[in-house]
């Protein structure tokens, strides 16, 4: 199943700042696809996830791999329908390894700004676990009048746009990812050392894990950078100063404007992204206004590097 893009007569810009083109998915299912740019991000229009056919779901799943970030508008669903849509795309994880989201289903991670539910640091979801999620599906519940946009960075495009000597360097490196910096205190003090069940085991501590700095996508075989400021603590086998220098270089490069798409939320939106080759950042620019988002995640696999 492939996606073929057909440019419109003249380029124009969406409200999110991206170039528009139309596309179809060839498999007997036609989708109306607006690309945000030449390499990254798309809105799929005219699909109702609550009543979509199996072929439409497969086409959306392929679009997720091809575009990395996919926006679906006007999807006014509840948590149950959110979870059902996720299950049609793949196996689901718990909402989060340690966070207690309260009175919501166990598959849901509720990010509530009234309870420190912020994501204003570039990160890739849950890379501090041995098997981070394959993808995430996010929808808004309560939105501020303005602000609270989410940005995604294309770590595959960032890898490709590095110079060849730097690519050779990072191909050989491994980094440590540590969830204690963000969630260690919460797990110990608010959960009493009893987190959620992740990959069949209750999480009682957050043991740092090692992942390759360059990850090979298990479906496309393409390489992307797999480090993020939220959870990557250091690079193994180099000095502290070298680790800081390499990571700072990679972070600055990943978040160059040409690697980023930005989404302005509306109620009814669903945005899904490939967690294996993207980072994201939620703008914290809405003051004391409340912002609540519900996220589910698709079960992933162990990241593998070029070796």
Q: Which residues are catalytic?
A: 123, 125, 280, 295
Answer left, alpha or beta for residue 229, where phi above 0 means left and psi between -120 and 50 means alpha.
Answer: alpha
The pair of structure tokens assigned to 301 is 């696999």
What's the rounded Cα separation, in Å, for the pair 198 and 98?
Answer: 9
Q: How far apart are CA 134 and CA 218, in angstroms?
A: 10
69 half-sphere exposure, CB direction, 13 A CA radius: 29
DSSP string, 202-270: E--S---EEEESEEE-TTT--EEE---TTTEEEETTS-HHHHHHHHHHHHHHHTSGGGEEEE---TT-E
- d(CA 115, CA 210) in angstroms, rounded, equals 30
Hey, is 178 helix, strand or coil? coil
DSSP state of 188: I
Secondary structure percentages of the chain, helix, strand, coil, to 5: 25, 30, 50
Could you say which DSSP state residue 113 is in?
G
Q: Closest Cα partner for 234 from 159, 289, 176?
A: 176
Task: Dig out the tokens for 143 from the structure.
Answer: 């939105």
């Amino acid at each position: 199943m492939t996606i073929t893009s057909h440019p419109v007569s003249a380029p124009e810009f969406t409200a999110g700042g991206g170039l528009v083109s139309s596309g179809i998915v060839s498999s007997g299912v036609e989708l109306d696809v607006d690309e945000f740019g030449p390499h990254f991000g798309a809105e799929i229009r005219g699909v109702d996830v609550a009543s979509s056919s199996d072929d439409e779901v497969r086409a959306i799943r392929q679009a997720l791999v091809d575009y990395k970030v996919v926006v679906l508008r006007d999807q006014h669903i509840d948590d149950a329908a959110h979870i059902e849509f996720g299950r049609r795309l793949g196996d689901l994880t718990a909402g989060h390894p340690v966070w207690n989201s309260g009175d919501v289903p166990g598959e849901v991670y509720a990010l509530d700004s009234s309870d420190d539910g912020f994501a204003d640091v570039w990160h890739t979801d849950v890379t501090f676990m041995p098997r981070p999620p394959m993808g995430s599906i996010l929808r808004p519940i309560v939105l501020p009048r303005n602000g609270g946009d989410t940005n995604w960075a294309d770590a595959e495009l960032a890898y490709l746009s590095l110079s060849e000597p730097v690519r050779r360097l990072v191909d050989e490196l491994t980094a440590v990812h540590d969830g204690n910096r963000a969630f260690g205190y919460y797990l110990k003090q608010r959960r009493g050392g009893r987190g959620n069940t992740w990959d069949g085991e209750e999480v009682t501590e957050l043991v740092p894990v090692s992942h390759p700095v360059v990850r090979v996508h298990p479906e496309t075989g393409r390489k992307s950078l797999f480090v993020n400021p939220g959870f990557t603590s250091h690079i193994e086998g180099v000095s502290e100063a070298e680790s800081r220098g390499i990571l700072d270089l990679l972070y600055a490069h990943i978040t160059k404007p040409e690697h980023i798409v930005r989404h302005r939320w509306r109620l009814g939106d669903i945005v899904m992204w490939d967690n294996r080759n993207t980072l994201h950042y939620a703008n914290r620019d809405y003051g004391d206004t409340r912002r609540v988002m519900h996220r589910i995640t698709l079960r992933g696999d162990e990241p593998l590097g070029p070796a």
